[in-house]
Amino acid sequence: MSKISSNSLPAYTTVENILSLIETLKRKNKNEDEVKAIFNKGDSAYTNTKSSLRTFGFIENGSFEFTEYGREIAYSQGEDKKGGIVRILKKYRPYEVFLSGLSQKDDVMQTEIEEIVNFWGKAGYGSTQRNLEDGAKLFMSIIDYSKFGKYIIGRGKNSTRIEWVSNIKEKIEELADETDKDSSADPTEIIDSKETNVNELSLEEKEPHEDTATASSLNENDTDSNINKKLVSIASMPNITISVDMSNWPEDKIKIFFKSAYGKFGED
């Protein structure tokens, strides 16, 4: 398996493909060959669309099961479905940061693709120039679907661009207000691709560190001497902090995680 860049943006697909694959997974989500056959848009489009679903938090990593967020979109219609897609603009960090910067400008009528590419490039997003450009096109298609602006493909001397709706600043402010409310209730959000991108990786595929030991390695049959030796071994290891995004995890999965890490969970 090729290594995935931690800075890679969702790209090489469209919002239409994303919605199509979501509909496909409502009917078939156990057999990948069947999913690909029903989706019927070619291997590349399928792979990149599936990757985008995971980056946006619609399906679980390592499976085709919907997250709570993805299920909400899959089983909604009309304006409710559109509202679910709009949430990407506030939950996915590169999108949210760009729109936040846009809202600070005095005159906002249109934005050319080069401006989006340059903004993300300076911020450290995007794995390659092509990834930046195609990532910007997907972002622009989501903007168009969300009715925040019109996505216009360039012709001749005219650049590919977004022509924003007249009240775009108000729309961005509404997104920010919703983000503040969400943060007060639930501090987690979709994983920032600049920090960690786990598009095609599952927990089972990661190599365990051979020197890893935790307090949960102690057991009731250990003698005092053995316990002291294990504690010394644990204490001498480097202090490593691992952040885990559990925003889309079901409750039973969270319990299993803490039981594995600490040997107990809450009232256990």
Domain boundaries, the chain: 15-86, 90-185, 203-262
What does the pLDDT average to over 205-224? Answer: 43
The pLDDT score that the predictor gives to residue 63 is: 92
**Whether pLDDT at 202 is above 70:** no
Which tokens belong to 5?
Answer: 């860049």
The overall average pLDDT reported for the chain is: 78
pTM equals 0.67
pLDDT band at 176 (very low <50, low <70, confident <90, very high): confident
Q: What is the pLDDT of residues 78-98, one digit of tens each?
A: 999 999 999 999 999 999 999
DSSP state of 164: E
Residue-level pLDDT at 251: 73
CA distances to 183, 228, 234, 244, 257 from 238, in Å? 32, 18, 9, 19, 22
Closest to 59 (Cα-Cα) out of 39, 30, 83, 93: 30
- pLDDT attached to residue 198: 38
What topology does CATH give the domain 15-86?
Answer: Arc Repressor Mutant, subunit A (1.10.10)
Residues 218, 230 contacting (CB under 8 angstroms): yes
- The alpha-carbon radius of gyration of the chain (Å, integer) is 22
Q: Is the pLDDT assigned to residue 125 strictly greater than 90?
A: yes
Pick the CATH number of 90-185 from 2.30.30.90, 1.20.210.10, 1.10.3370.10, 1.10.10.10: 1.10.10.10
Per CATH, 15-86 and 90-185 having the same topology is answered yes
State the Cα–Cα distance between residues 38 and 144, nearest whole angstrom.
Answer: 26
Q: How confident is the model at residue 226 (pLDDT cuts 50, 70, 90)?
A: low
**Backbone CA torsion sign across 74, 76, 80, 82:** positive
Residue 193 banded pLDDT, cuts 50, 70, 90: very low
pLDDT of residue 178: 74
Q: How confident is the model at residue 244 (pLDDT cuts 50, 70, 90)?
A: low
CA dihedral 50, 53, 59, 62 (to 10 degrees): 40
17-53 pLDDT, tens digit each: 999 999 999 998 889 999 999 999 999 999 999 999 9
